[in-house]
Chains A and B, each alone.
Chain A
Amino acid sequence: MPLTSFSRRKFLKGTAAFAGATSLPTFATADAHAPLTVGFIYVGPKDDFGYNQAHAEGAAAVKAMEGVIVVEEENVAETTDVQNSMESMINFDGAKLLFPTSFGYFNPHVLETAPKHPDVRFQHAAGLWTDGMPTNVGSYFGYIGMGQYLNGIAAGHATTTKKIGFVAAKPIPQVLLNINSFLLGARQVDPEITCQVIFTGEWSLAVKEAEATNALADAGCDVITCHVDGPKVVMETAAGRDCFVCGYHADQSPLAPEKYLTGAEWNWAGVYTGMVQTVLDGGTIDNFVRGGLADGFIKMSPLGPAVSDASRAQFEAVKAQIMAGGFAAIKGPLNDNAGNPLLTADKALVETDIALESMDYLVEGVIGSTS
């Protein structure tokens, strides 16, 4: 909410602009025993039962480490606000490692700020670092589409109407990959299943998410999942309409214990403590880091009470294949939902394929449009 985004950091930055501009000698000189300050920036509240909470849980694990100070700021918009937040974490808190965790922070905000601070490491979630970008920037993410594929298998067994639903925020590649994976997972159970998608246009709009969930239920969908920042509203509304739900970002089973099938969750604690340890040890984090189920970047919620034995067996079998590596959810022959061919029968995009990160289509069987 832009009106409330005035914060202590901005106040300090504003009032101390002169002091900063005259560039006093740095008092935080490099000292082997000085604690490392790590900054985390979230786009929404850090207890949203979703994306931001998942990152904040990772930050909490970092906080427990020896020799580390964690500074956090929540509700930072994907605008120049985030540049101000990063600058003030660097200039006033002495942060040497930053985790700006929202997709829209990357380009241009992280890419513009990084060259000004070559001694600071910027670790951005969900961005796509490529050669030529500043070398003190790194991007990391997890193959959570695989989690949505497993969600889809549980959904495919649970649906009786052969229609499943997806409440999506914005048509960016990661969201589209999740939608497509959810449907293709369900089609492993029954190739007749279709997936209705509704875009809300924003990462967090409680009333619109509830309306979208109701519209999906009205359209006959009986299993619903989502990709919005805080899935709480979707989970509660869907369960209230007697639909099954699959979680996303974090474990939402307490919100709908009877209706919760499973969920695709982030597992940032291990990833973040590993990265911070690398910096503490004087090492360098790779500029491009990705990981999936097998690497502990993501995990699945425990299967709920409504999951049948057949569903459980297929779920565990596919999960084992994914853990073994080289699994492809997106494989030919495949058409998009307008009937245009995407992949021929001999082509497959395995989970690590970089082409998946520029996905701009919905596959056959998904009802919806990206624009």
Chain B
Amino acid sequence: MESDLGLWVIPLAILGGAIRVSTPFLFVSLGEVLTERSGRINLGLEGTLVFGAMSGYAAAYLTGSPWLGVLAAAAGGAFFGLIHGLICSLPRVNDIAVGIAMMILGMGLAFYFGKPFVQPVAPDLPSIDFGWWSDVPQVRAALRVNVLFIIGAGLAFAMWWMFRATRVGLVIRVVGDSTDAARAMGLRPALIRTLSTTVGGAFAGVGGAYLSLFYPGSWNEGISSGQGLMAVALVIFARWNPIACFGAALLFGGAGALGPTLQSVGISEGYYLFFAAPYVLTLGVLIATSSPSRAMAGAPGELSITK
């Protein structure tokens, strides 16, 4: 059918891009929120993301089930988180340095084990067609929503509720805000931080599985192009609030779709500039929300960057 939508393509593509591209940002940033709320920074999530993409793709290809792939990616991510957590529990170990080492280790291992899986084609994760009501193919394509996106959105709200209203959330926040107070309460900060980092790693692994099993939907060494690192920055952008992470992930996804879309409607001059849109946006929001009189609102007190 004829489907020339003119300039309506732009908002539609931004919506579609937000839904398609945001999921890895969302999972990695939720994992990082959990880790940072407990008082540690895991910069290694880029490596975890890439390793999750590889292990998820490999497991899906070998078993024929994309869901087992997601499970394998989560397990791989949890393993990396656990190692980070255990090493950082040793006295006088810097979590940022360990994170950078884990990032390079994760990518190296993923490239090494991933070589035989570049060529084969693994089954994709299913998606739900929310555009059934429309007969415009662009709308249908934009509203083809992956199940992991919905799970991620649910997870963001669940985590927000957990931090606000549950005992587990309170324990993590206490550990993250003051080691001394946590000890006085009889909590074990190192254990809680290690568990938080492990679960956070599992989330990042699932984000990787989304990359290799749904969008773009294949495993190769250039699959991530830095989403894991950007998601860590996104946590600061979102002020350690899971729901804000969801919003920020959507924003980054949508802004990333802007460059290709503008070219497709004929606005093609200066496309390098449009590709920089997400980063310009980040700078703008950070400057707009900064304050000369107070420290970063919402930052956990035990973080090594805020101490």
A contact residues vs B (CB 8 Å cutoff): 1, 3-4, 44-45, 47-49, 75, 161, 196-201, 204-212, 214-220, 230, 232-233, 236-237, 240-241, 254-255, 367-369, 371
Q: Is B4 an interface residue (CB 8 A)?
A: yes
A367 to B224, CA, bound (A): 29
B interface vs A, CB < 8 Å? 2-5, 9, 12-13, 16-17, 20-21, 103-104, 107-108, 111, 115, 118-119, 121, 137-138, 141-142, 211, 215-218, 220-225, 227, 256-257, 259-261, 263-266, 268-272, 275
Q: A4-B104, A201-B272, A208-B259 are in contact. Are A218 and B264 (CB under 8 A)?
A: yes
7 pairs, A vs B, C-beta closer than 8 Å: A4-B111, A198-B264, A201-B272, A214-B16, A215-B257, A218-B138, A367-B268
Asked whether B275 lies within 8 Å of A233 as measured between CB atoms, the reply is no
A371 vs B16: C-alpha distance when bound (angstroms): 26
- In Å, the complex CA distance between A204 and B224 comes to 11
Query: Contacts A44-B222, A211-B260 known; A201 to B3 CB distance under 8 Å?
Result: no
Contacts of B2 in A (CB 8 A): 161
Instruction: Name the residue on B nearest A362 (C-beta).
Output: B268
Query: How far apart sit A3 and B211, CA to CA, in the bound complex (Å)?
Result: 20
Q: Which of A45, A161, A200 is B221 in contact with, Cβ under 8 Å?
A: A45
Main secondary structure of the interface of B (DSSP, over half): helix
Q: Which residues of A contact B270 (CB under 8 A)?
A: 371
* Residues of chain B within 8 A of A218, CB atoms compared: 5, 9, 12-13, 16, 138, 141-142, 261, 264
Task: Give CA–CA (A236, B268) in the complex, Å.
Answer: 25
Q: Tell me whether A216 and B217 are in contact in the complex, defined as CB-CB below 8 angstroms, given that A49-B119, A201-B271, A211-B257 are known contacts.
A: no
* Bound Cα distance from A274 to B106, whole angstroms: 41
In-complex Cβ contact of B227 among A207, A214, A230, A368 (8 A): A207
Task: Flag if B256 contacts A47 (CB, 8 Å).
Answer: no
B117 to chain A: closest residue by CB: A47
Query: What's the Cα separation between A51 and B256 when bound, in Å?
Result: 26
Contacts of B227 in A (CB 8 A): 207
A-chain residues with CB within 8 Å of residue B9 when the two chains form the complex: 215, 218-219
Are A205 and B4 in touch, CB under 8 angstroms? no
